[in-house]
Amino acid sequence: TARFDPSQADAKWQRAWDEAQCFAADSNSPKPKSYVLEMFPYPSGRIHIGHVRNYTMGDVLARYKAMRGFEVLHPMGWDAFGMPAENAAMEKGVHPGGWTRDNIANMKAQLKRIGFALDWTREFATCDPEYYGHEQALFLDLYAGGLVTRKQATVNWDPVDMTVLANEQVIDGKGWRSGAEVEKRKLNQWFLKITDFADELLEGLGKLESWPDKVRLMQENWIGKSQGMELRFALKGDGVVGGEQIDLYTTRPDTIFGATFVAVAPDHPLAQRAADGNPAAQDFIATCKRGGTTAAEIETAEKLGFDTGIVAIHPLAGGDLPVYIANFVLMDYGTGAIMAVPGHDQRDFDFATKYGLPIVRVVAEDGADAATPLAEAQTGEGRIVNSDFLDGKSVDDAKAAVIARAEDAGWGEGKTVWRLRDWGVSRQRYWGTPIPFIHCGNAVSDGEGSGCGVVPVPKDQLPVTLPEDVEFDTPGNPLERHPSWKHVACPKCGRDAVRETDTLDTFVDSSWYFLRFASQPADKPFDREELAKWLPIEQYIGGVEHAILHLLYARFWTRALKAIGLIDLEEPFASLFTQGMVTHETYSRNQDGRPVYYAPTEISREARAARLTADGGEVEIGRVVKMSKSKKNVVDPDAIIADYGADAVRWFMLSDSPPERDLPWSEAGIEGCGRFVQRLWRLFGQYNASAAGEDITLERKTHQTIAAVAEDIEALSFNKAVARLYELTGLAEKAAPSATRSETIRTLMLLSSPMMPHLAEEAWSRIGGEGLIAQAAWPEVIESLLVEDEVTIAIQHKGKLRDTLTVTKGLPKDEMETLALASEKVQRSLDGAAVRKVIVVPDRLVNIVT
Ligand code: ANZ
Ligand code: ZN
């Protein structure tokens, strides 16, 4: 037979699947349902190899599930709002919508060329007014349910781009695009009350057994439940009112006798008061604010402090503790003020060392006592020392004792605090879902001072669509500048009012898209009964970079929608899989101290060196790292599909590396896959329906492979499934023609079809297989062929081996005995002697005693 030609076969079968509507999920099907989903892509321009790996895994599972008799929902769409579209608008003068639509068209064509079994009838982009209109409706429902608030929040404000920046967009205190010094501003922002669900979201993690442990742990840390105590120290000093107290939060009340000073955040009211009329304090606070804003940056920054001159009184020991302003204390955690215990907290230790404050040991680990000096903070377990009535207690007992004492005396109580903050969803950007509210009053120019305030857009006026005619030539939010868009009549009183010009964080769009995939009525976001048919998602697959935010937000939306009575689901993703990255070495040359990278296609690679094809000169070979545009170590999916065909690329994505590990791209690897495609094709060509004869060994191996590949796919161990298919292919190649061999070849078509669907379809059609292989059933396993079911047993008489017999494994004792006694050799040895006893060891031996 001729070579398999993907350039013909791929397109042909993709068309056949489309025409047969093979992958359109029917929610009315009587079959059991299975919802397989990969994280939908951002339409940045091109599909990259990471997408290909991600979607290939989901595709194999979806195709396999369909073969197992499930009605499979495997949809695809576009996470289409966001900053890159506006950046493109600013840089290239194109409209964000047009840019996005073009990218979607390109990327969709790319996905089609890989032959994914996707239900394109359910495709949507989050920038479709229909989709974001339903999102606006849900936002209003959440508002009505008390889960949306508007409050003042401190934001990073870029004064040049005139926009709020996320923490990640502030680099060394400067805006990532403008390079301008970022200011902290207090602005009214919209929030979703995720903190109402902190406890549930934490508890729920315990039930997500099919999630990777590392992802659960990351979410747990992000939610950050901390059991501690809030306590109050009395204050004295300049400017302090009599009886005034300061609120502190600690997780270590047991160390209270080790507290040697108090520290407050730079934006704590007490710090503000100390700065009043004190230029040195003002300078200090300004310095603190210039530092990075993330918790990680604050942790690692050098400790800085300013003595306010205010003094706090220790509630148990009675001594004076100076109150410092400290850069490592955060205003929005706990109470924004701490009792500092340098002996047992490293931050406090560093600070005390720098400012010459006392360090007192109050916990002694094994081998230490009250007098053992501290070279660093002791943060482990131990017995309490130097602590009056707590001496000798364990850490836990001492915590309880201090809380009890404080609650009695009224200066403190046990308290749980959370690291999780409400989710600020306001973005001062154009390319996002408009937040469906109208402001009546304050900003109105009709002379009237006040109006109706913040008014929801009536649902029958949704969607609030984005205006098309916007300009990106000036910084700031185009919605704010648009001449007419924001001016509307107040839905309540009819007077002039203005629309909210903030749009929603794009993470909102991806928090419920999986619901809309399952059910798409025109008049509402989803239909509850339809959702119940498909959800929860049986398998969700995506990158670990979404371990925290996207997955937590989606879990929160699901619970929030349940709380307001819209759905019946608690957790959207029954099982989660995070795949590894596709990696490649990098090629670069040093130019003026900076690396200039070259693409693999520009390189000729030798055993130890790499040369730039253009000039033949050597380039440096860098480490094997994630493929990225900036390092140019990317391969273009289109190019490799053109070279090797979709099936070879799919096969490569599944081979060699376990799916959770990184997959190093190699030219040799993809070439090997291309060769295997042809090898299978040759074997498929040897199918002969009229071959006769049995081959029990091959039959056994075939059924073992059917069972094992099924297990591997269900466990997402694709590389193992691939290895088994290699093995069976090798055996079938070597086997002599027989009916069994033809059956094995046919089975191989079915088993390989989730991975190499085009090749399998082509082979299937040539042997006259019924219908499309994509719709064929997974081969039945004959259970009895799974076990190596014959064993050789020994038969002894008078301590000597008289005969061996091959019997079925697990043969009952009495049958073994009967067979043994029936042996001619045994009868000869017995020579008529009376049998006194027969000892049978199952599957091993029969010992006859006379
Ligand atoms: C006294 C103490 C002694 C503390 C000790 C720790 C160890 P987690 O567990 O992460 O919740 N803290 C409290 N509020 C803070 C804030 N706004 N900014 C910075 N640090 C703050 O951390 C709680 C601990 O972090 C608290 O317990 C407090 O220091 C500090 F041996 O109080 B501890
Ligand atoms: Zn009004």
Kindly report, residue by residue over 601-612, the tens digit of the pLDDT: 899 988 889 999
Query: Looking at the predicted structure, is the pLDDT value of residue 443 above 60?
Result: no
The secondary structure of residue 450, as a DSSP letter, is -
| Cα(77)–Cα(127) distance, integer angstroms | 11
| Cα(589)–Cα(598) distance, integer angstroms | 8
Give one word for 162, left, alpha or beta, with left for phi > 0 and alpha for psi -120 to 50: left
Determine the average pLDDT of the residues in 194-200. Answer: 97
Classify the C-alpha dihedral 408-411-417-422 as positive or negative: positive
Q: Which of 251, 206, 207 is nearest to 228 (CA)?
A: 251
Ligand 1 within 6 A of CB of 226: yes
Query: Looking at the predicted structure, is the pLDDT value of residue 450 above 70?
Result: yes
Tell me if residue 410 falls in helix, strand or coil.
coil
Ligand 1 within 6 A of CB of 338: yes
Q: Are 246 and 312 in contact (CB under 8 A)?
A: yes
Three-state secondary structure readout of 286-297:
HHHHHCCCCHHH
Taking the CA of residue 497 as centre, how many other CA atoms within 13 Å lie in the half-sphere pointing to its CB?
A: 22
Kindly give, in sequence order, each residue whose CB lies less than 8 Å from that of residue 834, ignoring residues fewer than 6 positions away. Answer: 850
Instruction: Give the chain's end-to-end CA distance (angstroms, integer).
Output: 67
Tell me if residue 170 falls in helix, strand or coil.
strand
**Burial class of 117 by CB neighbour count within 10 A (0 to 12, 13 to 18, 19+):** buried
pLDDT of residue 605: 87
Q: What is the pTM of this model?
A: 0.85
ipTM of the complex: 0.91
In percent, the amount of the chain with pLDDT more than 70 equals 98
Q: Are 179 and 172 in contact (CB under 8 A)?
A: no
Question: Encoding tokens for residue 88?
Answer: 């493109």
Kindly give, in sequence order, each residue whose CB lies less than 8 Å from that of residue 468, ignoring residues fewer than 6 positions away. Answer: 95, 97
Element (H, E) at 849: strand 845-849
Question: Encoding tokens for residue 299?
Answer: 């942790």
pLDDT of residue 575: 98
**Cα angle 313, 316, 322; round to 5:** 25
Q: Give pLDDT tens digits for 376-387.
A: 999 999 999 999
Query: Looking at the predicted structure, is the pLDDT value of residue 178 above 70?
Result: yes
pLDDT of residue 329: 94
Tell me if residue 726 falls in helix, strand or coil.
helix
| Cα(736)–Cα(695) distance, integer angstroms | 9
- Give residue 830's Cα distance to chain centre: 72
| Cα(56)–Cα(713) distance, integer angstroms | 12
The rounded Å distance from CA 239 to ligand 1 centre is: 27
Taking the CA of residue 345 as centre, how many other CA atoms within 13 Å lie in the half-sphere pointing to its CB?
A: 24
Ligand 1 within 6 A of CB of 345: yes
Q: Give pLDDT tens digits for 742-800.
A: 999 999 999 999 999 999 999 999 999 999 999 999 999 998 888 776 788 999 999 89
Classify the C-alpha dihedral 636-637-642-644 as positive or negative: positive
Element (H, E) at 163: strand 163-165
Nearest CA to ligand 1 atom 27: 250
Check residues 497 and 790 and name the one with the higher pLDDT.
Answer: 497
- 345, 348, 378, 416: which to mutate for ligand 1, most atoms within 8 A of CB? 345
Determine the average pLDDT of the residues in 534-558. Answer: 95
Q: Which of 437, 439, 441 is nearest to 464 (CA)?
A: 437
The rounded Å distance from CA 189 to ligand 2 centre is: 20
Q: Is the peptide bond before 600 cis (omega within 30 degrees of 0)?
A: no
Q: Could you tell me the CA-to-CA distances from 143 to 136, 215, 302 in Å, in that order? A: 10, 30, 42
pLDDT of residue 447: 47
For residue 442, the ligand closest to its alpha carbon is 2
Backbone Cα Rg of the chain: 35
* Widest CA span in the chain: 125
Check residues 293 and 786 and name the one with the higher pLDDT.
Answer: 786
Q: Which of 253, 249, 301 is nearest to 418 (CA)?
A: 249
Indicate the Cα dihedral angle 419, 422, 427, 428, nearest 10°. -100
The rounded Å distance from CA 83 to ligand 2 centre is: 33
The rounded Å distance from CA 732 to ligand 2 centre is: 79
Query: Looking at the predicted structure, is the pLDDT value of residue 103 above 90?
Result: yes
| Cα(506)–Cα(83) distance, integer angstroms | 9
Query: Looking at the predicted structure, is the pLDDT value of residue 649 above 50?
Result: yes
Q: Give pLDDT tens digits for 687-744.
A: 999 999 999 999 999 999 999 999 999 999 999 999 999 999 999 999 999 999 999 9
Res. 118 pLDDT band, cuts 50 70 90: very high
The rounded Å distance from CA 415 to ligand 1 centre is: 13
For residue 298, the ligand closest to its alpha carbon is 1
- Of 115-124, 326-335, 643-652, the least confident: 326-335
- 227, 303, 333, 381: which to mutate for ligand 1, most atoms within 8 A of CB? 333
Res. 446 pLDDT band, cuts 50 70 90: very low
pLDDT of residue 388: 96
Nearest CA to ligand 1 atom 28: 250
| Cα(651)–Cα(755) distance, integer angstroms | 6
Classify the C-alpha dihedral 181-186-191-193 as positive or negative: positive
| Cα(364)–Cα(546) distance, integer angstroms | 42
What is the pLDDT of the chain when averaged over all its residues? 93
Q: Give pLDDT tens digits for 307-318.
A: 999 999 999 999
Query: Looking at the predicted structure, is the pLDDT value of residue 444 above 60?
Result: no
| Cα(696)–Cα(66) distance, integer angstroms | 30
Q: Give pLDDT tens digits for 130-148.
A: 999 999 999 999 999 999 9
pLDDT of residue 1: 58
Res. 157 pLDDT band, cuts 50 70 90: confident
Res. 216 pLDDT band, cuts 50 70 90: very high
Nearest atom in ligand 1 to the alpha carbon of residue 379 is 31
Q: Give pLDDT tens digits for 235-275.
A: 998 888 889 999 999 999 999 999 999 999 999 999 999 99
- Of 38-47, 174-183, 419-428, 475-484, the least confident: 174-183
Res. 475 pLDDT band, cuts 50 70 90: confident
| Residue matched to tokens 């006694």 | 821
DSSP conformation letters of 619-635: EEEEEEEE--GGGT---
Three-state secondary structure readout of 653-700:
HHCCCCCCCCEECCHHHHHHHHHHHHHHHHHHCCCCCCCCCCCHHHHH
pLDDT of residue 775: 97
Determine the average pLDDT of the residues in 369-379. Answer: 95
Determine the average pLDDT of the residues in 564-587. Answer: 95
**φ, ψ for residue 687, nearest 5 deg:** -60, 130
Output the known binding site for ATP. Answer: 629
| Residue matched to tokens 């120290």 | 233
**Cα angle 733, 735, 737; round to 5:** 105
